[in-house]
Structure 1
Amino acid sequence: MTEIQLANLVQMDSPKAVLEEAVATIACFSAAADLPVIRSAFDQTVSLYRGAWPDIKGCNTDYHDLKHVTDCFLAMVRLMHGAVENGLCITPRQVHQAAVAALLHDSGYLQNCDDTLGTGAKFTLSHVRRSMDFLQRYHRVFGLQSSEINACMAMIHCTDLSCTPAGIPFPDPASARLGKMLATADVLAQMADRTYLEKLLFLFYELDEACLNDYCDELDLLKRSRDFFIQISDRMKNQLDASDRFMIHHFRSRWHIDADLYRTAIDDQHAYLKRILKNGGGDPRNRLRRGNVVNKVRARYN
């Protein structure tokens, strides 16, 4: 029997397909959720990232792009579904808050139209705070009440990898749980993406534009990403309350699959990365063939 893969369940490069799966999943665990308003928030995000908003440029970062946002949104919905299946209570308003926080968690990478210097990658160090500010400024567009702003901002704050969730001033325990779930969804969505390893090359140039000189070149980032897999697993377990444990309950209920397909995809990525980095294998970038990403990177930066 052919192994079921995460990327084969939903057409992840289609925002419409992602939205329909997310809505169907929400309907499974939150019958009272306001699905038309969630749909509207999603559509507003897509138009925002595609440059249809006045005074705000469309997304021009290749790693932190619209697909990552929609990937994170669906991962967050799946985690909430799994959590409810596991006995956690999430109210309809909390579902909406978490959905909007997922949609806007990287909005801080977007530039104003009068900003002609570089790309949004220059905001790497400040993008979380900028995302929080964006949510605060436009919360009504996304169907949020003023009383919900602080909770949503705290959830976005939790996605900051340099931040310890214990130090975030969550307004209530429910927001803290959802913030840790969003931080989990953020990394799961990135690292389970079937083109994650390829897109790491784009990430190098985003970090370079932000003057974060942590890596010498693309290959250095690839090599040191082996340890990043381990660091993220530790963060999810010890700082994010192992929120990824909810994912298997989603797949059992929604897809009748007794496995966490995110974990499977991430483990496969890690194993492949280690394999192509072995000595004697030549340039590992030549073995990153998905999505024609490597050729796009070479055409743009080399």
Structure 2
Amino acid sequence: MADVQLANLVQMESPQAVLDEGIKLVVQFLPGANPLAVRSAFNQTVSLYEGAWEETSGCNTDYHNLKHVTDCFLAMVRLFHGAVETGAEFSPRQIHQGMVAALLHDSGYLQSRDDTEGTGAKYTCCHVRRSMDFIQRHFAVFDLQESEIHACMAMIHCTDLNCDLADVPFPDPVTEQIGKMLATADILAQMADRTYLEKLLFLYYELDEARIDDYSDEVALLRQSEEFYDRMAARFETQLSSCNRLMVHHFKARWQIDEDLYQRAIDNQQAYLTQILTGKDGDPRDRLRRSRIVDAVKLKYA
């Protein structure tokens, strides 16, 4: 199945297509999960990011956007499926908590209506805490019970790349497992995106607005991203209990593909990044051509 690519399995640019695949997995492989509640939470998230909520502005960050959220959601459902295939057991409520946490893990980038200065990127350094606060305020909209808030907040806490998971106050071992799965889904969703390298240029400007001065320009961020691959591979092993290895069980059961297509996509991205950075034919950005993202970056930040 070497010709099958991750991006071709589901139309990832379509939130509805992502939701349909997620519901299919919930119904077929996650016994007891409530597809109606999942659908409602997903649609509420889409409306939130599109600016339909009265007190919250729509998403205005180009890297941490709605597509990343839906990518993360589907990666999370796939990890749940892979875990169940290996014999793991989750209650229907735990499954729902994990899916809602995936949908809201970056809600901290969103601004209130009366916050008109800059974009949500200014909250980069505190967005995880703000996401946890968001779920604490709006849990009922997403069919969560008040007693489940702590678990969902702990799950979202795991997505902070600077946190040591040993310091996260998990209410129980299953919540810890789901939190590690969410952190894994977040990383996989970003790095396996077929336009990941192009979108790193948008990430540079988000970091710049947040006054994170680790990179002098877009190309410097691209160069540092080679090291980021290695750091995330180590994080999977040392902090996240190798939850990424659950993916192969999903692809084998759902698609009859005995391979982790997320890892293949990440490996391909890494290889291409190395190729364009070591080449001698000019600016590496000139070789990032997918979805005309580079043109959009130039137009926005000329």
- TM-score (normalizing by structure 1): 0.99
Query: How many Å separate the matches in 2 of 1:80 and 1:201?
Result: 31
Structure 2 letter corresponding to 1:186: D
Gap regions ≥5 residues in structure 2: none
Aligned length: 302
Secondary structure at the counterpart of residue 240 of structure 2: coil
| Matching of residues 91-102 of structure 1 within 5 Å | 91-102=91-102
Which 10-residue stretch deviates more, 276-285 or 189-198?
276-285
- 1:27 is displaced (CA, Å) by 1.5
Match of 1:210 in 2: 210
2:263 maps to 263
Name the structure 1 match of 2:154. Answer: 154
Partners of 2:2 and 2:233 in 1: CA distance: 28
**1:20-65 deviation per Cα after TM superposition (whole angstroms, max 9, x unaligned):** 0001011222221111011000000000000000011000000000
In structure 1, C-alpha distance between the alignment counterparts of 2:278 and 2:245, rounded to whole Å: 32
Shift of 1:91: 1.2
1:54 alignment partner in structure 2: 54
Indicate the residue corresponding to 2:236 in structure 1: 236
Say whether the 8 Å CA contact 1:30–1:91 is kept in structure 2: no
Cα pair 1:215 1:221 within 8 Å, conserved: yes
Give the letter for the 2:208 counterpart: D
Distance in 1, matches of 2:154 and 2:171, equals 8
AA in 2 matched with 1:301? Y
Moved segments of 4+, more than 3 Å: none
Q: Determine the structure 2 residue equivalent to 1:41.
A: 41
Are 2:112 and 1:112 aligned? yes
- TM-score w.r.t. the length of structure 2 is 0.99
CA offset at residue 298 of structure 1?
0.3
Q: Distance in 1 between matches of 2:86 and 2:114?
A: 48
Give the Cα–Cα distance (whole angstroms) in 2 for the partners of residues 117 and 109 of structure 1: 13
Q: Distance in 2 between matches of 1:31 and 1:98?
A: 15
Q: Deviations over 1:178-223 (max 9, x none)?
A: 0000000000000000000000000000000000001000000000
After superposition, residues 1-302 of structure 1 pair within 5 angstroms as 3-302=3-302
Do 1:109 and 1:120's aligned partners in 2 also have CA atoms closer than 8 Å? Answer: yes
* Structure 1 unpaired stretches of 5+: none
Report the Cα distance in structure 2 between the residues aligned to 1:279 and 1:41, rounded to whole angstroms: 45
For residues 133 and 18 of structure 2, the distance between their equivalents in structure 1, rounded to whole angstroms, comes to 26
Offset of residue 279 of structure 1: 4.2
Identity over aligned pairs, percent = 63
Amino acid at match of 2:162: S
Q: Give SS of 2:125's match.
A: coil
Q: What displacement does 1:282 show?
A: 1.0
Cα displacement (A) at 1:130: 0.2
Rounded Cα–Cα distance in structure 2 between residues aligned with 1:17 and 1:279: 38
Calculate the aligned-residue CA RMSD, in Å. Answer: 0.8
